[in-house]
């Protein structure tokens, strides 16, 4: 197996997103100054140390670890992620915020196990689909295992609740199933089951129904409708070229979670239509180059894993952007490489490192 250097185009796109994201995040975090300088510096330094520095180290290490390592450890990583997700429900360990229990409190910081579970599901699916090979066409070796793994993840994530993370895992898992050779019949069944499941979750979890109706009637000033409306005001006020870095008004008290899942709205206000378009293009380039790496992967496992990791990152990013533009329901998932969320950034950089390692063994 011939070894190359890492894919420099993919690395450049990632680092560009990371640098752009740091400036946007730093500006959006200024909105927390109303709560005191201590909170501002805690958020900023946490993102830098845990997300960027820790993520950069993890990316480098993973880019040097041969990708077959992940296949050997797939089951144990998946099992560890399940255990971590269970821990969030244990009093004294799990932390509740905004009506959700998605975090483990480590004292000096918090971690979100759902991010690790997404990765664990994709890793195990790549391992399983490689093992069954052409038997993926069988319901027993392809369709049912996919539903089983997504069902385990769904039970844990929806109980937290974290509907957005579960939706992203479904997108990535289905993409891998397609890449592995799924039949159209099975894809239609998955689509119909997803519609039924979404309806059931909307009935079971009223906040999901609220966000779906907000997508249609985002002129409502209550609940999630308020966040969507403020996001559209911020993006619209940026016009063509924006107000300039640091000049956003909406990030101060008006826009909920300005440094979190609403950060694209801050970017739209400060950099305008032109800057927002550049951000979208960067994610598109990331997706296209990542899928190019998958298409030139040295074997079935690495190709499927690359597809899953690329879709994990890009699906989450476009869902976040779509929700800020009132094109998709609000999910609360962060904008990868840009939003506040040390765990999300650390895991994303780890996934990039794995993709870079796969690119080292790409077929010419």
Please report which confidence band the pLDDT of residue 300 belongs to, taking 50, 70 and 90 as the band edges. Answer: very high
Tell me which of 14 and 252 has the higher pLDDT: 14
Three-state SS for 88?
Answer: coil
- pLDDT > 70 in the chain, percent: 89
CA triple 153-195-317, angle to 5 deg: 60
Please report which confidence band the pLDDT of residue 49 belongs to, taking 50, 70 and 90 as the band edges. Answer: confident
Mean pLDDT to the nearest integer, 50-67: 89
Q: Is the pLDDT of residue 185 over 90?
A: no
Q: Do residues 136 and 181 lie in contact, with contact meaning Cβ atoms separated by under 8 Å? A: yes
Per-residue confidence (pLDDT) for residue 362, from 0 to 100: 86
Q: Is the pLDDT of residue 219 over 70?
A: no
Structure tokens at 22: 């740091």
pTM over 0.95: no
Residues 6+ apart with CB under 8 A from 166: 153, 154, 157, 158
Mean pLDDT, all residues of the chain: 85
Q: Is the pLDDT of residue 222 over 70?
A: no
Q: Do residues 158 and 108 lie in contact, with contact meaning Cβ atoms separated by under 8 Å? A: no
Determine the straight-line distance between the first and last CA of the chain, rounded to whole angstroms.
11
Please report which confidence band the pLDDT of residue 38 belongs to, taking 50, 70 and 90 as the band edges. Answer: low
Please report which confidence band the pLDDT of residue 295 belongs to, taking 50, 70 and 90 as the band edges. Answer: very high
Beta bridge partners of 111: 104
Contacts for 10-19: CB closer than 8 Å, 24+ residues apart: 10/286, 10/289, 10/290, 10/293, 10/355, 10/356, 10/359, 11/356, 13/282, 13/285, 13/286, 13/289, 14/286, 14/337, 14/352, 16/282, 17/282, 17/283, 17/286, 17/337, 17/338, 18/52, 18/337
Beta bridge partners of 95: 103
């Amino acid at each position: 197996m011939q070894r190359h250097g890492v894919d420099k185009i993919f690395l450049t796109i990632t680092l560009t997103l990371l640098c752009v994201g740091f400036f946007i995040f730093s500006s959006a975090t200024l909105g927390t100054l109303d709560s005191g300088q201590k909170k501002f510096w805690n958020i900023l330094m946490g993102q830098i140390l845990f997300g960027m520095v820790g993520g950069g180290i993890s990316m480098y290490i993973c880019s040097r670890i041969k990708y077959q390592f992940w296949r050997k450890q797939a089951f144990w990583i998946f099992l560890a992620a399940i255990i971590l997700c269970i821990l969030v429900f244990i009093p004294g360990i799990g932390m509740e915020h905004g009506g959700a229990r998605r975090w483990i409190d480590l004292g000096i910081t918090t971690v979100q196990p759902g991010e690790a579970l997404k990765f664990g599901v994709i890793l195990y699916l790549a391992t399983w689909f490689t093992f069954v090979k052409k038997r993926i066409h069988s319901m027993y070796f392809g369709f049912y295992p996919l539903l089983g793994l997504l069902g385990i993840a769904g039970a844990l994530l929806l109980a937290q609740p974290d509907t957005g993370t579960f939706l992203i895992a479904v997108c990535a898992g289905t993409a891998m199933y397609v890449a592995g050779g799924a039949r159209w019949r099975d894809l239609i069944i998955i689509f119909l089951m997803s519609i039924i499941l979404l309806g059931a979750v909307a009935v079971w979890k009223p906040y999901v129904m609220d966000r779906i109706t907000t997508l249609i009637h985002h002129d409502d000033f209550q609940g999630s409708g308020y966040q969507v409306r403020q996001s559209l005001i911020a993006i619209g006020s940026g016009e063509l070229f924006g107000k300039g870095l640091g000049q956003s008004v909406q990030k101060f008290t008006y826009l909920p979670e300005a440094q979190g899942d609403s950060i694209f709205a801050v970017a739209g206000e400060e950099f305008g239509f032109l800057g927002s378009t550049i951000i979208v293009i960067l994610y598109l380039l990331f997706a296209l180059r990542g899928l190019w790496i998958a298409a030139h992967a040295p074997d079935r496992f690495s190709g499927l894993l690359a597809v899953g990791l690329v879709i994990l990152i890009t699906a989450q990013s476009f869902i976040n952007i779509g929700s800020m533009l009132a094109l998709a329901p609000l999910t609360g998932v962060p904008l990868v490489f840009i939003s506040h969320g040390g765990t999300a950034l650390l895991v994303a950089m780890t996934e990039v490192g794995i993709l870079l390692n796969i690119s080292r063994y790409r077929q010419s």
